[in-house]
Amino acid sequence: MAFIDKLLDSTVYLSFDQSGYHRHEKSMKDDLNKNIGQDLSSKHALITGGTMGIGNACADYLTSLQIPCTVTGRTPEKYIDKGTDSLSRFVQLDLSDWDAIKKFVDTSKSFHYLVLNAGGMPDSFALNKYGIEYQMASQLFGHYFLMRYMIEQGKLAIGGRIVWVSSGGMYLAKLHLRDLFSSAKPYDKVATYANVKRAQVVLCQELAKDKKYSQFSINAMHPGWVDTAGVKNAIPGFWKFTKNRLRTPAQGAATIIWLLLSHEVSTSGEFYFDWKKRATYPFFWTKENNLIRDEFISLLKDYYQKYFLN
């Protein structure tokens, strides 16, 4: 059976799709039930990109356990108000606007869970007001700044869990910094997205080595192929080809929930898919060298110093 599973997973198509989810779910062994029996109402979760799709599914599950959730997004009109009795609340936040991140953290309460989920693929190249390509500015720089500033301001409780929501698309990407400040010709939104998602995983690995973050659980994951409005609008050809096999947002969120709540999660810097640790470089040509990795980390720290500490 293990051989069959390995064979099916090697196809990718029968692993990242809904059939892969159901197959992996059968062999899953976790301890979530131990948590569900506890009072979690004293916890508080922050989910970026929580108005729709995977982030919204995370909020729905956590609030069903009586965990209050703050969800952020750029567009208030997309948020579905669940009524006055809901434990979920919306805060407008554009992660490419780093001044807004600082203001949000300064005025927020503390959290125990942080899901760095916000994504998106703009059709054309754009820089944020600080001169960084928009996808990198929001999904990488913005998420890193949010996480770090929360920790330094005491807005993430000791022992808090952080999940970076990456993408299986990063498997084919090799980390590079060449398009941070100017556009490749023509702008390739999908390739840029894959580079951002690779960068998230690299950053997660580096954070696990830093003593500053040793009191927190920080891991990355990818949700497989999920039927969301973002996928349908950004890559309509892919969505049309796979729409009958795509996972539901709740299925895409399942490993995120597990990483937040499970007693089995005890390390940081790992990359997960369907409840299991996965290799991050299945193809040798996607491995970045240490010089690029060091330059990348230094750049993030320099920008944080400039915009958050001065």
User: Edge-to-edge strand order for the sheet containing 88-92?
Assistant: 88-92, 69-73, 45-48, 111-116, 156-165, 217-221, 271-273, 276-277
Phi, psi of 299 (to 5 degrees): -65, -45
CA distance 178 to 97: 22
pLDDT band at 1 (very low <50, low <70, confident <90, very high): low
Of the candidates 150, 168, 124, 128, which has an alpha carbon nearest to the alpha carbon of residue 72? 150
Average the pLDDT over 126-150 and give the result: 97
Q: Phi-psi region for residue 85, left (φ > 0), alpha (ψ -120 to 50) or beta?
A: alpha
Phi-psi region of 30 (alpha: psi -120 to 50; beta: other; left: phi over 0): beta
Give a yes or no: residue 23 inside a domain. Answer: no
Look at residue 20 and tell me if it is in a domain: no
Q: Which own/partner pairs from 95-98 qualify as long-range (CB within 8 Å, at least 24 positions apart)?
A: 95/48, 95/137, 95/138, 95/139, 95/142, 95/143, 95/146, 96/128, 96/132, 96/134, 96/137, 96/138, 96/142, 97/128, 97/129, 98/128, 98/130, 98/141, 98/142, 98/145, 98/307, 98/308
- 219 has which bridge partners? 163
DSSP single-letter state for residue 262:
-
pLDDT of residue 77: 84
- Half-sphere exposure at residue 118, Cβ-oriented, CA atoms within 13 angstroms: 29
Q: Is residue 237 part of a domain?
A: yes
Residue 34 in this model has a pLDDT that exceeds 80: no
pLDDT grade, residue 240 (50/70/90)? very high
Closest Cα partner for 55 from 112, 100, 114, 98?
Answer: 114
Q: How far apart are alpha carbons 6 and 131 in whole angstroms? A: 44
- What's the number of domains the chain is made of? 1
Q: Is residue 129 part of a domain?
A: yes
The two tokens of residue 178 are 């060449």
Summary mean pLDDT of the chain: 93
pLDDT, tens digit (0-9, with 9 covering 90-100), for 67-95: 999 999 998 888 877 766 789 999 999 99
Tally the residues of the chain.
310
Instruction: Note whether residue 128 is domain-resident.
Output: yes
Other CB atoms within a 10 A radius of the CB of residue 233 amount to 12
141-192: pLDDT as tens digits: 999 999 999 999 999 999 999 999 999 999 999 999 999 998 778 899 999 9
Phi, psi angle pair for 178, to nearest 5° = -70, -20
> What does the alpha-carbon distance between residue 145 and residue 81 come to, in Å, rounded to a whole number?
28
pLDDT at position 29 over 70: no
Q: What is the pLDDT of residue 19?
A: 95
DSSP alpha helix (H) spans, 127-188: 134-135, 143-152
Q: Which domain holds residue 91?
A: 30-308
Q: How far apart are CA 25 and CA 251, in angstroms?
A: 10
CATH number of the domain residue 295 falls in: 3.40.50.720
Distance CA 174, CA 194 (A): 9
Contact 258, 242 (CB under 8 A): no
Specify if 5 maps to a domain. no
Residue 206 falls within a domain, yes or no? yes
